[in-house]
Chain A
Amino acid sequence: MEQTWELKLYIAGKTLKSETALRNLEKYCNEHLQGRYKIEVIDLLKKPQLAEGDQIFAVPTLVRKVPVPIRKIIGDLSNEEKVLVGLNIVPVKKLA
């Protein structure tokens, strides 16, 4: 099942937390969803009107739009296992 994962990362400015989150996310995607993902970073400071649509209240928030159902992970995504479980990603290789 070759499906593209559409991920949105909502941040509010370049903070330490948002940098960490983005770094972590890219790392996990590269490892487990090679070539099957799209990451869109939305800075709410620049586009505050988008916060309501995806029901964002915390930042950073990662939203999985596709595949449905929508899942959300908030935080700097520092716990890989939790992120993978949260996004329902089957790890490519067994985690050590």
Chain B
Amino acid sequence: MKGLVIMFHSESSSIRGAILARAPASAARLLLKSMRLRSLLLLPLFAVSCPRDSTAQPSHIISGTVRDAETGEVLIGAAVIARDLGSVGIATNAYGFYSLTVPDGSHVIAIQSVGYRTQTDTLLLDKDITLNINLTPQPIRESDVVVTKERSNTNVTSTEMSANRLEVHEIQEIPVLLGEKDILKTIQLLPGIEGAGEGSTGFYARGGGIDQNLILLDEATVYNSSHLLGFLSVFNSDAIKDVKVMTGGIPAEYGGRLSSVLDIRTNDGNMKQFDGSGGIGLLDSRLTFGGPIVRDEGSFNVSARRTYADLFLKLSRDTALNRASLYFYDLNAKANYTLDDRDRVYASGYFGRDNFGYPDLFGFNWGNATATLRWNHLFSDNLFSNTSLIFSNYSYGNDVSSGTSEFTITSGIRDESFKTDFEYFAGPKNNLKFGLNVIYHTFLPGTVTATSGTAFNGISIPNRYGGEYAAYIAHETEVASGVMLNYGLRYSVFQLYGPGDVKTYDADGNVLTTASYGPGEIIKTYSGLEPRVSANFTLDDASALKASYSRTSQYLHLLSNSVTSNPSDLWVPSSNNVKPQYADQVAAGYFRNFGDDEYESSLELYYKNMQNVIDYKNGADLQLNPDVEALLSYGRGWSYGAEFLLRKRSGPLSGWVGYTLSRTDEQFADINNGNPFPARQDRTHDISIVSIWQYDPVWTFSATWVYNTGNAVTFPSGNYLLENVRLVPYYTERNGYRMPAYHRLDLSATWTLGPHSNLNFSVYNAYNRLNAYSIYFRRDPDDPNKTQAVQTTFFPIIPSVTYNFTF
């Protein structure tokens, strides 16, 4: 029998896991037992039953991998549908794999993916079969003449909500600053996701902070996603295959951050032939190269880019300026090899570094390094697994020259993790996912190395060590006709380990007690259950109601001296003083497609409550402070809003209109006299209009317009005099004022010069709106008795041109 049944009975307050399955399932049982999931009693039943066990009609499995016919790249999220059975179907997973169980007999199987010609196969099923599919890319202009069901309605039929997948061509056609393409800038154009400020790759998801986003690059956590202080992200869009962002109803397989998951997968490389692409822009140049290791068995892909603003600085006559450094580079590399029908291995890595320096003044450098080793294994035609070993490192260095003193500050965080995930395709509309994840964190809060002959003593804030463990199980099934339910549970544990001194503090931040722990000793343990539920009530082929609830826990926190992301930002673990953050979110939405699924629309409402959000005591000095934990205050945050999205994915004209109406407040006992105040990320209105128009095979145009309410900021409501001369601002309420509204239009035109090259012209901020980056107050230079407000604008109208090529 190919069935798997997991049931939990309450018996003398313990769980008995009855697993009737093969080896991997017994691994699952061990996993569950070891978790001591007594609280699972809360769940009435966790049951997956295979219809073949209960129904008379025999059925079999169709499984395989969906690929691009030209490159052999596996396709993520392609729909495989038994058309004769109505909407019975499945989407390919992150490795292009699908498994569909259907009754024996003759079936019409349709395989479709945006940007590809739909392929239809008729087959007679009387045994398990492997059906690997190669889809042919479809020129964009062709799709408007093909009127059959080219388009998918999975956005309506799936239980997934508050999630968006970006097409690579969308990222490629939407220019951001200086003609660069950037996924972190592009996702900010989706409802529910707001940019943290002009020129920032940081983003807020449904009122959550910048550090509440889990950013994964081939499963490795990226701790700092910004190049050039956030003007660009660390993700080279040439290397990217798939981008998915989730702000609600987060599946149980993800955890560790409160507000969103950004799951980025890179290209595997061409399995058929060597190819490459590149670009020459004003800011940087890029080159990507890939090809088969063994044709159709293994491939590799390498992408690199580097900026060259510093090369212009070298031309300067100023002896300081021409020694200044200002550049970043990054490298994505990936290789994969198919061992046999059931096993495939991947190795991927990222390395990037920013360097910024001014002679005798400062030098900064920072960067991420990640490496992922993965093994896909098919235990059977309907039990898929992936096991990963992941390494991630973020480090930051700062050389400081002040007076005659020189020293170097370094800090960072390092992760080593193991992760295994199983997908069991039990039957039509019946899937089970389970797995576990172990991360060992090393926190490096900061070390000062003083050069000789300075007044500075070296200082080192001791490293901290933590383990983050999670196990999850999630089951998606049709509970009644037209009602799909995805319910899951994640159990997460965080432990802080020695060696280290653990202090307690009084309300003023003075040390009360200090205790020493040895290596490996457990200092503090936190754990929690995170239920995740989402449901789809299908109304008809083109419309559905969806609802979700999710609880998320976050054991790592980002301490920042600034409101945007800085390279010096410090990740700290939960401890005896620092509490984990928790969020509960409910969301409901109406999803409707129009025009034969040509237009997708959705309206979602959400409410999110966040516990233990972190702010800082006034004057908190977060750098190199051994007592940084005494400088934090904890409060509550809550966010609610409505998000509207109308999207057209196919045809010569594609794009979307997004609108978010929301409110986010925070409350801290020791801030703003304990009264609630608008969070900095509170944005009442947020509008994005994105359009991409392929006018003819030669010209493609795109336009993007954004509008949002200004950030909540603190301005003075009075002033006073100190030391006879100093006018000091008097603040009465936190975030009581607003920055001016932000809006901007970007235009782009791509001129296809031939089959292998194009020129992209773009204009950032086309109508030259002088948006406020910051507003500060100063004494009027012409009248010292007066004070004036001064607005800084960083980016007026900026035209640029980029040359792109493939070979």
Do chains A and B stick together as partners? no
